[in-house]
Amino acid sequence: MLGASRWAQPAAAPQQTSPSAAMRLTAWTLRRPFQKTSPCPVTHDGNHTYARANLVHASSSGGSSSSSNAQTGLSPTAGRNLSGASAGPASRPAGLILPPGFRSAPMIATAAATSTEIVASAAYSSAPEASPPAGYRGHGLDGPIIWLGNQRVHSLSERGRDVMRSMSNWAAKELPRYLKSAERSWQPADLLPDSASPDFYDQVSALRAASANLPNDYLVVLVGDMVTEEALPSYMNMLNTLDETRDETGASDTPWAHWTRHWTAEENRHGDVLNKYLYLSGRVDMHSVESTIQRLIGRGLDPKLENNPYLCFVYTSFQERATRISHGNTARLAQYHGDVPLAKLTGLIASDEARHEAAYTAIVAEIFERDPDGAMLAFADMMRKGIVMPAHFVDDDWHTQANGKGTNLFVDYAAVADAIGVYTTNDYANIVDHLVKRWDIGNVKVVTGEAAEAQAFLIKHSERIRRLADLQMERRMRDRKRGKGRTAAFSWIFKREVALG
């Protein structure tokens, strides 16, 4: 996930270093396992024109209230696509600003009561050029556009809320089948030396011997993957921001809350087992790794989900497949480097990710059934924004200082993952293709012009990424030929250097 580009930059946490665009694409399949591939700067197509809407400009007693969307005169959905997720209001007026006629939603009142700066930039009903058929009730994404600071929030419309509520019985019936109980699950202790055993030290020695030949670049990627898994509190937090599906109490008796808690419980084993394995291996600087995890959880993540389950479940569908691919390739490489226990462990993680991917893609497929236009727009919106890797805010407060201005730990970690074939830009394109096929995008019947346009965009999207991947590869080969290949030192491996491409 590296490179420079017009790909939308992360909106939030301005004090944090944003990874460059290509970083967000770098991936997780082993298309060319032992071949060097390069990270790819991917740009999105920002030239789509969307239907003009009967836009109601924001106005307030507090002065200037025009947001970027209001200035363009486009519908909220158009603004979503044209401005990208990261673009907040050009100038942020103080206080709560709502367009005339804007309904007072409870979440707005709550936010206002806490003096949080919110701007609702446009009315929530978009007007596509071609009038939808009589009886069309709108889609899940044409909710109000509300800004919290420079982050868009609560974009799920009333129609979208109805859709998610209507899926409650479906979720209760379908989602549990994708979960495994604690009794049926492997646990980290099953895969690591038994600390209660008299031959514990011998088992640890065997683990260390098996890991002895893992190369530095592989270790960087394994640490990056582990750190990503260890930031699980952020992901549970993310799921619990979602309108209609969040766990309201921490122990809610709803199918969505049940799913979130049990998914988290399964995921918790991933970071746990990788962390313990790396600790016992003695191959990495655990203090540096642990402080990186602490920083990352403190920073959170910003995949631009707008508290919207449509967007989030597209994101998690993509990410679960990406992690499945990444851990699967990590397993193959572990085997190649002679570490069979690590290959088994990462392979088991990959199989968990595959189940989770199946669940999230089933949720989105069901949204497509109930709200084809909304689901189509959500998928396109996430593709236009670019899928950020969950650890995109990772930092160790050393990397940039040691490797020079402009370098970024996340970008460099993703470059190494790409270079050793754990997750490449082509993997990203493959995931797009897979999801287009999984949700049968070409045959979905949509009714609005904007959804039809999103559909056309999605069908061609992977081609754009592959073209960029090819350009990236050419550049990498050229740089190598000229002896300009970059390296970076990583604190995680005792400040040793590895090649980035």
Query: Binding of Fe ion at residue 353 (CB under 5 A)?
Result: yes
Among the listed residues 57, 158, 186, 497, the single catalytic one is 186
**Residue 70, phi then psi, degrees to nearest 5:** -65, -35
List, in sequence order, every residue forming a beta bridge with 499; answer none if it has no partner.
Answer: 487
356 belongs to the catalytic site: yes
Distance CA 162, CA 104 (A): 18
Distance CA 78, CA 69 (A): 8
Query: Binding of Fe ion at residue 324 (CB under 5 A)?
Result: no
202 belongs to the catalytic site: no
Q: Of residues 137-156, which lie at the interface with Fe ion (CB under 5 A)?
A: none
The least distance separating Fe ion from the CB of residue 427, rounded to whole angstroms, comes to: 16
248 belongs to the catalytic site: no
Give the position of tokens 């990959």: 350
The least distance separating Fe ion from the CB of residue 319, rounded to whole angstroms, comes to: 7
The least distance separating Fe ion from the CB of residue 316, rounded to whole angstroms, comes to: 8
Among the listed residues 327, 356, 399, 461, the single catalytic one is 356
The least distance separating Fe ion from the CB of residue 323, rounded to whole angstroms, comes to: 5
Q: 3-class DSSP state for residue 41?
A: coil
The least distance separating Fe ion from the CB of residue 308, rounded to whole angstroms, comes to: 20
Choice between 65 and 430, CB closer to Fe ion? 430
The least distance separating Fe ion from the CB of residue 189, rounded to whole angstroms, comes to: 18
Consecutive H or E run containing 454: helix 449-481
48 belongs to the catalytic site: no
Interface residue with Fe ion among 154, 270, 321, 438 (CB under 5 A) is 270
270 belongs to the catalytic site: yes
Q: Kindly write out the interface string for residues 15-54 of this chain, putting x where it contacts Fe ion by CB under 5 A and - elsewhere.
A: ----------------------------------------
Q: Which residue is nearest to Fe ion (CB)?
A: 270
Q: Which two tokens stand for residue 255?
A: 């199918």
Q: Using the rule CB under 5 A, give the single segment among 68-76, 151-159, 252-260, 346-354 that binds Fe ion.
A: 346-354
Instruction: Give the E-state strand segments of 92-201 in sequence order.
Output: 118-122, 145-148, 151-153
Q: How many residues bind Fe ion (CB under 5 A)?
A: 7
327 belongs to the catalytic site: no
497 belongs to the catalytic site: no
3-state helix, strand, coil in the chain (%, to 5): 55, 5, 40
Neighbouring C-beta atoms of residue 461, cutoff 10 Å: 22
The answer to whether 307 and 155 have CB atoms below 8 angstroms apart is yes
Q: Using the rule CB under 5 A, give the single segment among 145-153, 173-181, 225-233, 247-255 that binds Fe ion.
A: 225-233
Helices 372-385 and 158-166 pack at an angle, to 10 degrees, of 110
Distance CA 223, CA 230 (A): 10
CA angle 174, 177, 180 (to 5 degrees): 145
Q: Considering only the C-alpha atoms of the chain, give the largest distance between any 2 of them, rounded to a whole number of Å.
A: 75
Integer-rounded Cα radius of gyration of the chain: 23
Write the DSSP assignment of 300-356 as a string of letters: ------TT-HHHHHHHHHHHHHHHHHHHHHHHHHHHHTT-HHHHHHHHHHHHHHHHH
Q: Using the rule CB under 5 A, give the single segment among 95-103, 189-197, 314-322, 451-459 that binds Fe ion.
A: 314-322
Interface residue with Fe ion among 142, 217, 266, 267 (CB under 5 A) is 267
Among the listed residues 225, 243, 352, 453, the single catalytic one is 352
Q: Of residues 283-312, which lie at the interface with Fe ion (CB under 5 A)?
A: none
List interacting residues with Fe ion (CB under 5 A).
229, 267, 270, 320, 323, 353, 356
Instruction: State the catalytic residues.
Output: 186, 229, 267, 270, 320, 323, 352-353, 356
